[in-house]
Chains A and B, each alone.
Chain A
Amino acid sequence: MNKHTKTKNSHGREGKEITTIVNRRLFLRSAGLATSLGTIVIAAGCNDDDEDPMIPGTGDTVDLGSGDMGVLNYAYALEQLEAAFYTQVMQTPYNGITDAEKAILTDIRDHEIVHREFFKAALGDKAIKGLTPNFSAIDFTKREAVLGAAKLFEDTGVAAYNGAGKLIKDPNYLLLAGKIVSVEARHAAVIRDLINPKSADFAGDDIIDANGMDRAIAPADILAAVKGYVKDTLTGTSVGK
């Protein structure tokens, strides 16, 4: 496989772009979010009769836009999903939730709502509409399902911000993304520690590479991974361009 892509790569710029796409697909299929999404759906113990979460949204088509505004709308879309998720979690707490867990999940909910409202205000009339989430695959009564989904959303959020950083042109927006991504990483670590306390999982080898680096994933791949959780169809082909 490596040999094959190398050969293509030597054909110049166009060939390299094809290789990039191919590699990204391979990465996603073999290692990435498509797989973990599937795992979460199974872990969530969803009803077999539920609609397939991988079927694209049934709501509106929403274009995130281009350039920095596209990146901000991309972040706004993800924050909308996170905020809606934790709002639901606290409206219908899972069976056996402890006071400590309630406090943590309430904090996280409030952070995500602050992020969502901040982006909405910052984008003004450039903001995309309020999205309609689809959490039908998540059994909100079960701790394992809720924390598993929370882990997926937080890890995905971190990878999304890390991958979007280099698309941002304005240093002020880059700094803002930086201020938010580390909070998402804190959430990810704490959620992971709730799932498997006092283990290495808060920054586990399942996502951290051999250089001790977190993931950085491009918008197209993130949007593909979360599309089952939103009824609207998000298009982000011009984000950052």
Chain B
Amino acid sequence: MDIFKIIDQFQQIDGDAVGRLEYASRRHFMHKAGSKLASAAIPTAFAAIVNKAFAQSAAAVDVLNYALTLEYLEDEFYKAGNAAANLIPASDKAIFTQIGKHETQHVAFLVKALGSKAIAKPTFDFQYGGAFSDVFTNYKTFVTVSSALEDTGVRAYKGQAGVLIADPQILEYALQVHSIEARHAAVARRLAATLLGNTAMKGWITGKEGAVAAIYAGEDNMTQGGVNLKGLASKSDAAITEAFDEPLTKEAVLAIAGPFIKK
């Protein structure tokens, strides 16, 4: 897969795509400002441009479909969790309703952007082959899986940033979703810490601390920009590792997500 070729094709197809994307997204900001006029058309316009730009590139479609796979997974997970009786206590409903809303919005956006190239929604097994068999009946398990999914999402989007470097508007979109996943992860982790009685678990990742150990490999990295930061500003290893989140490759993420996906 050669992302630079894809970008070249992108520009040959529609040399002004980036400019128009910028224009469309700014108008979208104005929608936020309260000018609701014509706002409904804007995501569609944006998506149409993305779709046109990527229409001939199987590799680029793969990247967006990778994101879509993860968003489908999260969306289905929260739909099931939010619908389950006696799972989420009333005190925490607002949190998971908001997270679920965002995942639904991410799916809708990607499906529109990909158009006919969008993959079909996979069939999921949220019991993860039996490891989380009570995921929709035991709130502890649900929150554990939620925190793991969100932290994995953060690592997954981060891992794609470099791939999108020559494609500014898609990169920006990915970053805007990436930080939302991090907001989700922070609250899910704090809920998990309380429910599991794990005081070492915080909104940020200390070392490789998390409710599902396997997905935090490498989060204890101390080397940034080629320099080992040990002792920087006399701060602890804990503080230094908390200050940086680490990426995962697509292969690593799909290995983690694999058992959730039946087909």
Interface residues of A (CB under 8 A from B): 1-2, 9, 13, 16, 19-20, 23-24, 26-27, 30-32, 104, 107, 110-111, 113-118, 121-122, 158, 161-163, 165-166, 168-169, 171-172, 174-176, 178-190, 193, 198-200, 202-204, 208-216
Could you say which of A16, A31, A182, A215 contacts B182, with CB atoms under 8 Å apart? A182
Could you say which of B37, B102, B154, B173 contacts A182, with CB atoms under 8 Å apart? B154
Could you say which of A16, A20, A190, A212 contacts B109, with CB atoms under 8 Å apart? A212
Looking at the assembled complex, report how far the CB atom of B114 sits from the nearest CB atom of chain A, in whole angstroms. Answer: 14
Looking at the assembled complex, report how far the CB atom of A173 sits from the nearest CB atom of chain B, in whole angstroms. Answer: 8
B interface, over-half SS: helix
Whether A27 pairs with B186 at a CB distance below 8 angstroms is no
Which of B26, B29, B239 has the largest count of A CB atoms less than 10 A from its CB? B29
Q: Contacts of B43 on A, CB cut-off 8 Å?
A: 210-211
- In the complex, the chain B residue whose C-beta lies closest to that of A180 is B244
Whether A110 pairs with B239 at a CB distance below 8 angstroms is yes
CA distance A75 to B108 in the complex (A): 32
A interface, over-half SS: helix
User: B27 at the A/B interface (Cβ < 8 Å)?
Assistant: yes
Q: Contacts of A210 on B, CB cut-off 8 Å?
A: 31, 39, 43, 105
Whether A162 pairs with B92 at a CB distance below 8 angstroms is no
Q: Contacts of A213 on B, CB cut-off 8 Å?
A: 109, 173, 176-177, 180
Q: Contacts of B233 on A, CB cut-off 8 Å?
A: 113-114, 116-117
Whether A165 pairs with B34 at a CB distance below 8 angstroms is no
CA distance A122 to B227 in the complex (A): 9
Q: Contacts of B187 on A, CB cut-off 8 Å?
A: 189-190, 193, 202
Assuming the A-B contacts A24-B26, A114-B233, A178-B158, are A202 and B175 also in contact, with contact meaning beta carbons closer than 8 angstroms in the complex?
Answer: no
Q: Which of B135-143, B162-170, B255-263 contacts A (4 or more CB under 8 A)?
A: B162-170
Q: Contacts of B158 on A, CB cut-off 8 Å?
A: 175, 178-179, 182
Whether B183 pairs with A118 at a CB distance below 8 angstroms is no
Q: Contacts of B183 on A, CB cut-off 8 Å?
A: 185-186, 188-189, 202-203, 214
Could you say which of A1, A172, A190, A212 contacts B186, with CB atoms under 8 Å apart? A190
Q: Contacts of A175 on B, CB cut-off 8 Å?
A: 158, 161-162, 247
Q: Contacts of A187 on B, CB cut-off 8 Å?
A: 186, 203-204
User: Top 3 A-B pairs ranked by shortest CB distance?
Assistant: A31-B33, A212-B105, A166-B168
Interface residues of B (CB under 8 A from A): 19, 22-23, 26-35, 37-39, 43, 91-92, 94-95, 97-99, 101-106, 108-109, 154, 158, 161-162, 165, 168-169, 171-173, 175-187, 190, 202-204, 224-225, 227, 229, 232-233, 235-236, 239-240, 242-247
Q: Contacts of B34 on A, CB cut-off 8 Å?
A: 30-31
Whether B245 pairs with A182 at a CB distance below 8 angstroms is yes
Whether A174 pairs with B162 at a CB distance below 8 angstroms is yes
20 A-B residue contacts at CB 8 Å?
A24-B26, A26-B33, A27-B30, A110-B236, A111-B243, A158-B179, A161-B175, A165-B161, A174-B162, A179-B247, A182-B178, A182-B179, A182-B185, A183-B245, A190-B190, A199-B95, A210-B39, A211-B105, A212-B106, A214-B177
